[in-house]
């Protein structure tokens, strides 16, 4: 495998890619798996789907966290609605540098479970391993 960069209009940069963050278990403050950026990325969307609806008694905030290579964390509120939400698509202007980690965490509802994913493009000029 070789690491290289391409012209700005190469399909590696113009295609939208997806990363499955896996499931978000029941329990207050449960989080998805972490996704580590393999290149400099532009996040396009965060998808969250409720698999088992919660009680709906509490506001269940979904939040995207981006850990900046262990030095800082950026947060992006995705939803501030009740646990009965089923699909959430949020377009984001967030970027990730190579080595940054991202995950989705849910709020206080103890019974809701869900699944999350990211959609992103590789920023033109970023190194890509082929």
Alpha carbons 26 and 46: distance in angstroms, whole number: 20
Q: What is the pLDDT of residue 126?
A: 74
Asked if 121 and 19 touch (Cβ cutoff 8 Å), the reply is no
Task: List, for residues 51-73, the tens digit of each pLDDT value.
Answer: 887 776 556 788 889 999 878 99
Q: What is the pLDDT of residue 112?
A: 82
Q: CB neighbours of 113 closer than 8 A, spacing ≥ 6? A: 23, 24, 25, 26, 30, 50, 51, 52
Q: What is the mean pLDDT of residues 6-15?
A: 70
Q: What is the pLDDT of residue 102?
A: 94
| pLDDT at 130 > cutoff 60 | no
Phi, psi of 31 (to 5 degrees): -130, 160
Q: Kindly report the three-state secondary structure assignment for every residue of 17-83.
A: EEEEEEEECCCCCCECCCEECCCCEEEEEEEEEEEECCCCCCECCEEEEEEECCCEEEEEEEECCEC
Task: List, for residues 67-126, the tens digit of each pLDDT value.
Answer: 998 789 988 888 766 555 555 666 667 889 989 999 999 888 888 888 889 999 888 877
Q: What is the pLDDT of residue 55?
A: 72
- Fold exhibited by the domain 27-125: Jelly Rolls (2.60.120)
Asked if 122 and 4 touch (Cβ cutoff 8 Å), the reply is no
Q: What is the pLDDT of residue 19?
A: 92
**Claim: this prediction has a pTM higher than 0.85:** no
| Residue 67 or residue 6, greater confidence | 67
Q: What is the pLDDT of residue 8?
A: 62
């Amino acid at each position: 495998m070789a690491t290289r960069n391409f012209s700005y209009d190469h399909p590696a940069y113009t295609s939208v890619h997806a990363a499955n963050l896996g499931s978000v278990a029941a329990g207050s403050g449960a989080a998805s798996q972490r996704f580590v950026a393999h290149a400099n990325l532009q996040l396009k969307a965060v998808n969250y789907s409720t698999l088992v609806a919660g009680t709906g008694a509490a506001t269940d905030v979904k939040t995207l966290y981006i850990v900046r290579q262990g030095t800082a964390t950026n947060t992006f509120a995705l939803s501030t609605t009740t646990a009965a939400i089923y699909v959430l698509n949020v377009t984001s202007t967030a970027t990730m540098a190579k080595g940054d980690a991202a995950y989705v965490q849910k709020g206080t509802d103890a019974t809701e479970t869900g699944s999350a994913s990211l959609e992103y493009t590789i920023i033109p000029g970023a190194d890509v391993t082929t």
